Copies of this chain bind each other. A is one copy, B any other.
Amino acid sequence: MTNNRISNLFQIKLPIIQGGMIWCAGWELVSAVSNAGGLGLLGAGSMYPEILREHIQKTKKATARPFGVNVPLLYPETEKLMQIIVEEGVKIVFTSAGNPKTWTSHLQEKGIKVVHVVSNTKFAEKADLAGVDAIVAEGFEAGGHNGREETTTLELIPLVRRVTAKPLIAAGGIATGRQMFAAMILGADAVQMGSVFVASDESSAHKNFKDEVIKAKEGSTSLSLKQLTPVRLIRNQFALEIENAELAGATKEQLAQLLGHRRAKLGMFEGDINQGELEIGQVAALIDKIKPVRNIIDDIMLEYRVTKEQTSHMKFDF
């Protein structure tokens, strides 16, 4: 056992959370992460309620270790998802994109640990007041939905650390052991990583999408659709169409029409890399290989430990 508050809270070996990403985080990824010593989270945001039940049951069969479910609170049938989570005995829920007061105490009464995801201090304070067990602070670098203030992880972690004493998980832009250590130096107790697990053997992302993640370089992603809900996407054909429409002064309605529906599934799950939405973080530029989850986590921890060791080097002393 360590003295790390997040490891203790979830009874996990390593303070590494795998983000519960839509279309990517099914039972195979989640159980692989939990079996490797981290915390896997099912991405309920892209699952019908009965599909979530199936994934929970499969995860329980595939790992004896703790795991959880991420529920975006803008999901239309949140109530049904929560009912299934309680029925199936899930012990950890991460909520995002909504009011942390709505579900926190209800879930905690059922013995569930509740964590809320925020992108600014205002919502960190709200989550703290709602009594969550921990907070994820997610910076501008992150893939998918993202805050309007564009606050990067390097700024957000110290800012959130100022307003809450809760256990804090840094997210956004983290895929390596050095970045993990840096995030903890900034004040986080643990990290949540998404993009690097999209590019794993076990993620349910379409192979075409995984290949795009590997190919991504600096500037390959951008925060798109800021007038609707900001979302970080690979700048593929669809994203460039949005950019051009924005430059031409498109209205919100025109952008919503251009966006249409089901583009996230189309891109990430069905592999249409031109017309789909490909949600991934800026850190994709540092991800060069699709690997098994076990190797991803081993590599992160090796770099983490070597880096920590190196801080005794004289370079750091003055």
What is the interface of chain A, defined by CB distance below 8 A to chain B? Answer: 2-5, 7, 13-15, 120-121, 139-141, 148-156, 158-159, 173-174, 176, 178-179, 181-187, 189, 218-219, 222-223, 227, 247-250, 282-283, 285-286, 307-308, 311, 313-318
Q: A152-B173, A219-B120 are in contact. Are A158 and B185 (CB under 8 A)?
A: no
A157 to chain B, nearest CB (A): 9
When the two chains form the complex, which single residue of B15, B186, B219 contacts A148, counting CB atoms closer than 8 Å? B219
Assembled-state Cα–Cα distance A13/B15 (Å): 36
Q: Kindly list 10 other residue pairs between chains A and B, CB separation below 8 angstroms, not including A182-B186, A184-B316.
A: A2-B315, A3-B315, A4-B315, A140-B140, A155-B283, A158-B179, A178-B185, A179-B186, A184-B315, A185-B311
Q: List, in ascending order, chain B residues with CB within 8 A of A227's CB.
A: 247
A184 to chain B, nearest CB (A): 6
Question: Is A307 within 8 A of B185, CB to CB?
Answer: yes
Q: A314-B2, A318-B13 are in contact. Are A151 and B189 (CB under 8 A)?
A: no
Q: List, in ascending order, chain B residues with CB within 8 A of A308's CB.
A: 311, 316
Assembled-state Cα–Cα distance A127/B26 (Å): 44
For A140, the closest partner residue in chain B by CB is B152
| Among A140, A158, A248: residue with most chain B CB under 10 A | A158
Q: A150-B219, A219-B148 are in contact. Are A318 and B141 (CB under 8 A)?
A: no
Assembled-state Cα–Cα distance A156/B155 (Å): 15
A195 to chain B, nearest CB (A): 11
Q: A141-B152, A218-B159 are in contact. Are A15 and B249 (CB under 8 A)?
A: no
Question: Is A159 within 8 A of B286, CB to CB?
Answer: yes
The 5 closest A-B pairs by CB, nearest first: A249-B249, A149-B219, A3-B314, A182-B182, A152-B152
Q: List, in ascending order, chain B residues with CB within 8 A of A285's CB.
A: 151, 155, 159
When the two chains form the complex, which single residue of B173, B249, B315 contacts A155, counting CB atoms closer than 8 Å? B173
This chain's copy number in the assembly: 2
For A7, the closest partner residue in chain B by CB is B318
Q: List, in ascending order, chain B residues with CB within 8 A of A141's CB.
A: 152, 154-155
Question: Is B248 within 8 A of A152, CB to CB?
Answer: no
Assembled-state Cα–Cα distance A139/B316 (Å): 22
Question: Is A154 within 8 A of B154, CB to CB?
Answer: yes
Q: List, in ascending order, chain B residues with CB within 8 A of A7's CB.
A: 318
Assembled-state Cα–Cα distance A247/B246 (Å): 7
Q: List, in ascending order, chain B residues with CB within 8 A of A174's CB.
A: 154
Q: List, in ascending order, chain B residues with CB within 8 A of A179's CB.
A: 154, 158, 186
| Among A5, A218, A308, A313: residue with most chain B CB under 10 A | A218
Q: List, in ascending order, chain B residues with CB within 8 A of A283's CB.
A: 155
Assembled-state Cα–Cα distance A186/B304 (Å): 11
Assembled-state Cα–Cα distance A81/B314 (Å): 37
A317 to chain B, nearest CB (A): 6
Question: Is A150 within 8 A of B315, CB to CB?
Answer: no
